[in-house]
Amino acid sequence: MSDLSTATQTSADLANGPRIGRSVSIDRAAELLGCSRRTIYNLISGGWLQTVRTLGRSQRVLIESLQAVSERGTRNYSKAGGAR
Protein backbone atom coordinates (compact mmCIF):
# COMPACT_ATOMS: atom_id res chain seq x y z
CA MET A 1 0.00 0.00 0.00
CA SER A 2 1.69 3.15 -1.14
CA ASP A 3 -0.45 5.47 1.01
CA LEU A 4 0.46 3.55 4.14
CA SER A 5 4.16 3.44 3.44
CA THR A 6 4.41 7.10 2.47
CA ALA A 7 2.34 8.24 5.44
CA THR A 8 4.60 6.55 7.97
CA GLN A 9 8.10 6.68 9.30
CA THR A 10 10.55 3.88 8.72
CA SER A 11 10.58 0.91 11.08
CA ALA A 12 13.95 2.06 12.39
CA ASP A 13 12.48 5.46 13.25
CA LEU A 14 9.58 3.80 15.09
CA ALA A 15 11.93 1.57 17.07
CA ASN A 16 13.80 4.58 18.41
CA GLY A 17 10.91 5.65 20.58
CA PRO A 18 7.73 7.70 20.55
CA ARG A 19 7.44 10.19 17.70
CA ILE A 20 4.67 12.35 16.35
CA GLY A 21 2.89 10.51 13.58
CA ARG A 22 3.28 6.97 14.91
CA SER A 23 -0.48 6.49 15.11
CA VAL A 24 -3.55 7.41 13.09
CA SER A 25 -7.23 7.90 13.81
CA ILE A 26 -9.74 5.10 13.37
CA ASP A 27 -11.10 6.83 10.25
CA ARG A 28 -7.63 7.22 8.72
CA ALA A 29 -6.79 3.58 9.52
CA ALA A 30 -9.95 2.47 7.69
CA GLU A 31 -9.04 4.68 4.74
CA LEU A 32 -5.48 3.34 4.58
CA LEU A 33 -6.61 -0.30 4.71
CA GLY A 34 -9.56 0.29 2.38
CA CYS A 35 -12.12 -1.07 4.81
CA SER A 36 -14.87 0.14 7.13
CA ARG A 37 -14.58 1.55 10.64
CA ARG A 38 -16.38 -1.61 11.87
CA THR A 39 -13.62 -3.77 10.35
CA ILE A 40 -11.01 -1.65 12.15
CA TYR A 41 -12.83 -2.15 15.47
CA ASN A 42 -13.09 -5.90 14.77
CA LEU A 43 -9.35 -6.06 14.08
CA ILE A 44 -8.70 -4.16 17.32
CA SER A 45 -10.93 -6.47 19.38
CA GLY A 46 -9.32 -9.50 17.72
CA GLY A 47 -5.89 -8.28 18.77
CA TRP A 48 -4.64 -7.69 15.21
CA LEU A 49 -4.39 -3.91 15.56
CA GLN A 50 -2.81 -2.21 18.56
CA THR A 51 -4.06 1.16 19.76
CA VAL A 52 -3.17 3.92 22.17
CA ARG A 53 -5.41 6.35 23.99
CA THR A 54 -4.71 10.06 23.83
CA LEU A 55 -5.03 12.39 26.79
CA GLY A 56 -8.45 13.31 25.40
CA ARG A 57 -9.33 9.57 25.53
CA SER A 58 -9.63 9.11 21.77
CA GLN A 59 -8.35 5.84 20.39
CA ARG A 60 -5.57 5.82 17.77
CA VAL A 61 -4.19 2.89 15.80
CA LEU A 62 -0.44 2.27 15.86
CA ILE A 63 1.09 2.43 12.39
CA GLU A 64 3.29 -0.63 13.00
CA SER A 65 0.20 -2.78 13.51
CA LEU A 66 -1.44 -1.28 10.41
CA GLN A 67 1.60 -2.23 8.36
CA ALA A 68 1.45 -5.82 9.60
CA VAL A 69 -2.25 -6.13 8.75
CA SER A 70 -1.88 -4.43 5.36
CA GLU A 71 0.78 -6.95 4.34
CA ARG A 72 -1.70 -9.78 4.82
CA GLY A 73 -4.87 -7.92 3.78
CA THR A 74 -7.97 -7.39 5.91
CA ARG A 75 -9.81 -10.34 4.34
CA ASN A 76 -7.36 -12.73 6.01
CA TYR A 77 -8.66 -11.94 9.49
CA SER A 78 -11.82 -13.41 10.89
CA LYS A 79 -14.07 -11.76 13.46
CA ALA A 80 -13.49 -14.80 15.67
CA GLY A 81 -9.90 -13.66 16.18
CA GLY A 82 -7.63 -15.61 13.92
CA ALA A 83 -5.89 -15.42 10.61
CA ARG A 84 -7.16 -17.79 7.95
**Residue ranges per domain, the chain?**
2-75
Per-residue b or e along 48-84, where b marks 16 or more CB atoms closer than 10 Å to that residue's CB: bbebeeeeeeeebbbbbbbbebbeeebeebeeeeeee
pLDDT of residue 32: 93
Across the range 68-76, mean pLDDT stands at 81
pLDDT of residue 76: 72
pLDDT at 81 over 60: no
pLDDT in tens, 3-62: 665 454 444 444 555 455 799 999 999 999 999 999 999 999 999 999 999 899 999 999
pLDDT confidence bin for 75, thresholds 50/70/90: confident
Per CATH, the number for 2-75 is 1.10.1660
